[in-house]
């Protein structure tokens, strides 16, 4: 399988302080890759470097085979970015937001108009094409951002916390759109603080902390390394975790104890592993 994004020994330093420290990993073509980390882990800086917004202090980043420093323009034409912050122009209509983006990417007319119609229909905003963006709900604005990011037919889509602040129903609809795009062959990098989102969507997961990549693999890889079962014990207002290779072993351990007050056994999830690795919950 070919590589869509490659980071090799990437570092980024601000005021002599390393924010990203010797980071290396690949994202395969057609893969949905989740990049996790607590606040301050360096993942936002990593995304900014991959998307050409920030130059690495050292190391090499390639996107679709192009060096992000030497061939910045080529990289920008081959990626789409959906930011956490709502970035649509509120005083333009849905159609005008799309039209403006299409012209920035020099998409010729009338092909541009056909593609605008296609992507607005895809994200279920075709009937709102003449509405001002300021009248849209948060979920509609996010769908408009996705449609806009797809208009110039990028090879790789970067999603920075795309469902933050949305209600559960809207989140699930966006999951369906994202998953469908990935099934069509689009490579994606997702950052999020929602563990269930990563478990549902991502093929592989990278976890950063302190500017370094501290874990990489599929969810099943991570569970196999750290334990598929755990025993929890409540001490005051906190929980202590003990991992076991299997859920059966966790249950057996719990059953062998004479005092099981405040304790329970259950299967491991991604958040358990994240907290175990980073020592703190996501903020």
Domain of residue 236 covers 228-267
Pair 82, 197 in one domain: yes
Does 275 fall in a domain? no
What's the confidence (pLDDT) of residue 249?
A: 97
Nearest CA to 126 among 139, 109, 112, 140? 140
For residue 280, what pLDDT is reported?
60
Same structural domain for residues 122 and 187? yes
Q: Are residues 245 and 176 part of one domain?
A: no
CATH no. for residue 201? 3.40.50.300
Same-domain check for residues 163 and 242: no
pLDDT score at 94: 97
- Give the pLDDT confidence score for residue 86 in this predicted structure: 84
pLDDT one digit per residue (tens) for the chain, 283 residues: 699 999 999 999 999 899 999 999 999 999 999 999 998 899 989 999 999 999 999 999 999 999 999 999 999 999 999 988 888 999 999 999 999 999 999 999 999 999 999 999 999 999 999 999 999 999 999 999 999 999 999 999 999 988 888 889 999 999 999 999 999 999 999 999 999 999 999 999 999 999 999 999 999 999 999 999 999 998 888 888 999 999 999 999 999 999 999 899 999 999 999 999 998 654 4
Q: Are residues 188 and 232 in the same domain?
A: no
Q: What is the pLDDT at residue 243?
A: 96
Helices (H), the chain: 43-50, 72-77, 94-104, 111-122, 138-150, 168-183, 195-201, 219-226, 247-256, 270-278
Helix (H, G, I), strand (E, B) or coil at 272: helix
pLDDT value, residue 283: 47
151 to each of 96, 105, 139, 260, 264, how far by Cα in Å?
13, 9, 19, 57, 50
Whether residues 98 and 121 fall in one domain: yes
- Indicate the number of domains in the chain: 2
Nearest to 200 by CA among 232, 168, 239: 168
Neighbours of 253 (CB within 10 A): 16
Residue 158 CA to residue 43 CA, distance in Å, equals: 12
């Amino acid at each position: 399988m070919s590589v869509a994004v490659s980071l090799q020994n990437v570092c980024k330093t601000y005021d002599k302080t390393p924010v990203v420290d010797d980071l290396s990993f690949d994202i395969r073509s057609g893969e949905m890759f989740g990049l996790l980390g607590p606040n301050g882990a360096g993942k936002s800086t990593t995304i900014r470097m991959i998307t050409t917004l920030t130059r690495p202090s050292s190391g090499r980043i390639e996107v679709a085979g192009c060096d992000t420093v030497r061939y910045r323009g080529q990289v920008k034409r081959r990626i789409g970015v959906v930011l956490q912050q709502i970035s649509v122009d509120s005083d333009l209509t849905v159609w005008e937001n799309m039209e403006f983006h299409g012209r920035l990417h020099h998409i010729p007319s009338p092909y541009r108009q056909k593609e605008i119609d296609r992507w607005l229909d895809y994200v279920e905003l075709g009937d709102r094409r003449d509405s001002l963006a300021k009248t849209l709900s948060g979920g509609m604005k996010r769908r408009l951002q996705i449609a806009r990011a797809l208009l110039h037919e990028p090879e790789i889509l970067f999603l920075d916390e795309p469902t933050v602040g949305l209600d559960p129903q809207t989140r699930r609809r966006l999951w369906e759109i994202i998953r469908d795009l990935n099934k069509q062959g689009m490579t994606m990098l997702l950052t999020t603080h929602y563990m269930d989102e990563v478990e549902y969507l991502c093929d592989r997961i990278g976890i950063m902390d302190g500017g370094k990549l501290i874990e990489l693999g599929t969810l099943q890889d991570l569970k196999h390394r750290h334990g598929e079962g755990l025993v929890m014990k409540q001490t005051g207002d906190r929980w202590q975790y003990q991992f076991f290779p299997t859920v059966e072993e966790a249950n057996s351990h719990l059953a062998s104890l004479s005092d099981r007050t405040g304790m329970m056994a259950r299967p491991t999830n991604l958040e358990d592993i994240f907290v175990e690795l980073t020592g703190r919950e996501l903020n």
